[in-house]
Structure 1
Amino acid sequence: MGSPVIDDYLKRIYHHTEWQDSRITPSQLATELGLAPSSVTEMVRKLAAQGLVTHRPYGPVSLTPEGEKRAAAIIRRHRLIETWLVNEFGYAWDEVHDEAEILEHAISDRLLEGIDERLGRPRFDPHGDAIPDESGAVDRAPFVLLSEATAGHTGHVLRVSDRDPQLLRVVEAAGVSVGAEVVVHDPGALVVDGARVDLPPEAAAAVWLTA
């Protein structure tokens, strides 16, 4: 098992480019982690020295193939645990993130394999995020962020960000669940089962649809 601190850095870098293309900067990474920029800069240097990231002074940070493999492995653990907690223990999808953050560093590879097998080797977690396979590969359909979808766009909900549990609850209460077929009315509203559903403004940057 790797260092939880290093794993957290690698996860944040991986997450940043998972659903969009721009790479993360050290200042963005500091904001994401809630740390001083100087601390993040020093850790990025250490990660680069270990061959886990590439970084130029004042430039963005990218994972190396080795860094991406390690990040995918810890994200696989996290998302399998989230799926396990929802399916086996009745957790709501807005409750699992913090629990999985603890458990991902505690369970053995043997138990993780057992969880994966019991769940039927799922490809996605409850929020719609792809679960990397053992090689780190993911299977994800082409997607569009709700804020960028045009009026009249029809698709299925691929993902709802788990960053804000309160927003998750509001979105779920509105009937917008992963897998639901929707029609975009505008970035703040969807049509679900023929009925218009108004969403809070922040949902436009937290809901992804099939392209």
Structure 2
Amino acid sequence: MSIDHDLRGLVTACRTALKPYPIQPLPDHLLHVTLEMITDAPADRITDAERTELITSLDNHLAAMSAFRLLAGSPVANKAGAYLDCWPDDGLNTLQQAVRSAVRAVRGPEAVRYSGGRPHCSLGYSYANGDSDALQSALRAISPSHAPFTVVAVVLVEVTFTLTETASLAEGTQPAWDFDFTPLHTIALTGPGTPVPNS
């Protein structure tokens, strides 16, 4: 977020639109595009040796990949919260397949069962009922509704979920899941090639 100022502006505008709704916005350091989740075991059942093996496999599978440009937006509201679609698909799909191959190589097919739909950047998650149609109208009014950004690295993270009480608009407090990332390893995309600006 420190480099892509257009993306920061779009995210800021979206957070303003989200304020009247029961959606917990993600802070800058939690904004992400999920490429894969390890689905065969929770984090506390993965040993240090297994983590090292996974990191080595990711390093090897992503060694030739270069940074590339994406377009975030338009913002979308649904029952789960709000997110930014990401486009074009080619570079992201290639990266996602490389990550999945790396995970599959060391943990087998059971570890790559995540299905999150098209790649996207989540803006926040809902914790109570709200009018997604009204929110979508507010998000659609944002202009510009797209922002370019550069994918420069893949980060292996351990995700921790905590049940907390979150203020709700009309119902006092509502339980909501907070989550945080513990970065374990970063793979910079420094292979051959130059990011191509979006036209």
Q: TM-score, normalised by structure 2?
A: 0.25
Q: TM-score, normalised by structure 1?
A: 0.24
- The structure whose residues are more often strand, as a share, is 2
- The structure whose residues are more often helix, as a share, is 1
Looking at both structures, which has the greater relative contact order when contacts are Cα pairs under 8 Å and sequence separation is at least 6?
Answer: 2
